[in-house]
Amino acid sequence: MSKDWIVNEETGDRVDWVDCDFTHLATPGVVGLTPYHPGKPIGELKRELGLDDIIKLASNENPLGPGAKALEALKQLPDLGRYPDGGGFSLRAKLAHHHGMRPDMVTLGNGSNDILELITRTFVAPGDEVIYSDHAFAVYALASQAVGAKSVVIPATEDYGHYLRAMARAVTERTKVMFVANPNNPTGSWSTAAELRDLLESVPDHVIVVIDEAYFEYAENVADYPNAAIWVSEIANLVVTRTFSKAHGLAGLRIGYGLSHPQLAELLNRIRQPFNVNTLAQLAAEEALNDSEHMARSVALNNSGMQQLTTGFDSLGIHYLPSLGNFICIDMEQPAHSIYDQLLRRGVIVRPIDNYGMPNHLRVSIGLEEENTRFLKTLAEVLGN
C-alpha cells in the first residue's frame, strides 16, 4: 500500500487517493454496519440548495435550546486549559440527589449514546445476543453490532410498540443485554409501569435490561408512564439512561447518564474514557437540572405543539402514531422519501425513517409554533391540498 495517490503527470499535484479497500482489515461487526444517518444539518441544506430560510424538525432537539441558567453558567467561562473533572464529582452528586440515590450509581456519558455503547462494550462479546425491538432506536443496533453481537430483533406490536412479552421469551443463555426505549424513537410508543415490571420480573439475572428514558421529561405526567429510575435501587440488572440532549436543550454539548447498581457502574467506568464529558457540558447540566422553569416551559411548548400538529394532521387526513416524545411519526401511505425531498426543497427538514423499516413514515420533531405552522402548510402544499 505504497502508491496512495493519483498524481497529475504534468503538474505533479496529488489529485486523489488511490482506491484502497480496508474492509478486510476491519472487525466482522464493523464490516456489517451501516452508519447512523443523522438529521440533515441546516448548514448542509444551505450549501446544497442555497436556501436561507430553513427550519429543522429532524433531530428531536428542544426548539427553545438551553435555559437561561445553563447559558449563564456557560458565560462564566471556566478554565478550558484544564482537563474536565473526569469523575464528574459535582454533577454526579447533584444527579444522585435528584434521583435519591448514591453518586456511585451514576455514570456520566458523552450523550446517553455513550452509555449505551459502554454497556455493550462491557458486557457483550462476539456471538453474544442482544435483544431489542424492530423500529427501536438505531443506536441499539450500532452499539451491538460494533462489538460483534448477534442482534435479536423482535417484531413490534401492530401499533409499532415494543412487544415486551416476546422480548422476554427471546432470552437465551447467550443473551447479555436487552434494550427497551420508553418512549421509543422514532415511533413515540411506550410501555406502562405494569408491562415493564412484568418484563423485569421475567428476565433472568444474567441479562442487563437497559430502559432508555431519553424523553422522560416529556412523558412523566402521563398516567401509567413509569419512572424506571426508581426501580434501579431494587433491581440489580437494570440500567436506566437519561439525557440532557432532549427536554433539557443541551444536545450540542453531548451529555447523558446511566443509573445502575454501583458495581455495574464500576465496570462501565473501567472502559469509560477518563474525560468523556467536557467541562462545559458538566457545568451546564448542573444548572439545567435546577432550571425547573425552563423545563416547565419546554414541556408546555411541546404539549401545545403536539396538539397543533395532530390537529393539523387530522384536518389533512394524515394518520400518525400517538407519541409521548417531542416528535411524531406520520404515515404518508406511500414511499415517504419523495415527500421528504420536496419538503427539503422548500426549506423544511424532517426525518425519513426507511432505515427503521418504516419507508412510508416520516418523523417530525415538534418545533416552535411558527415552525409547526410552516411545516403543516408546506406539507399540505407538497401533498397538493
Ligand X SMILES: *Cc1c(COP(=O)(O)O)cnc(C)c1O
Where on the chain is the footprint of ligand X (CB under 6 A)?
60, 111-113, 137, 181, 185, 212, 214, 243, 245-246, 251, 256
Nearer to ligand X, 107 or 113 (CB): 113
Shortest distance (Å) from residue 5 CB to ligand X: 37
Nearer to ligand X, 65 or 383 (CB): 65
Nearer to ligand X, 122 or 378 (CB): 122
Q: Indicate the burial class of 105 (C-beta count within 10 angstroms; 0-12, 13-18, 19 or more).
A: buried
Please list the helix, strand and coil fractions of the chain in percent, rounded to the nearest 5, in that order.
40, 15, 45
Shortest distance (Å) from residue 211 CB to ligand X: 11
Shortest distance (Å) from residue 180 CB to ligand X: 10
Nearer to ligand X, 113 or 144 (CB): 113
Shortest distance (Å) from residue 69 CB to ligand X: 20
CA dihedral 66, 70, 76, 80 (to 10 degrees): -80
For 254, left (φ over 0), alpha (ψ -120 to 50), or beta?
left
Shortest distance (Å) from residue 183 CB to ligand X: 8
User: Which residue, 318, 299, 280, 319, is CA-closest to 366?
Assistant: 299
Helices H, strands E: what count in the chain? 14, 15
Coil, strand, or helix at residue 16?
strand
User: Which CA distances in Å does 205 have to 151, 167, 170, 332, 369?
Assistant: 19, 15, 15, 42, 46
Shortest distance (Å) from residue 138 CB to ligand X: 9
Give the residue at shortest CB distance from ligand X: 111
Nearer to ligand X, 84 or 111 (CB): 111
Nearer to ligand X, 240 or 379 (CB): 240
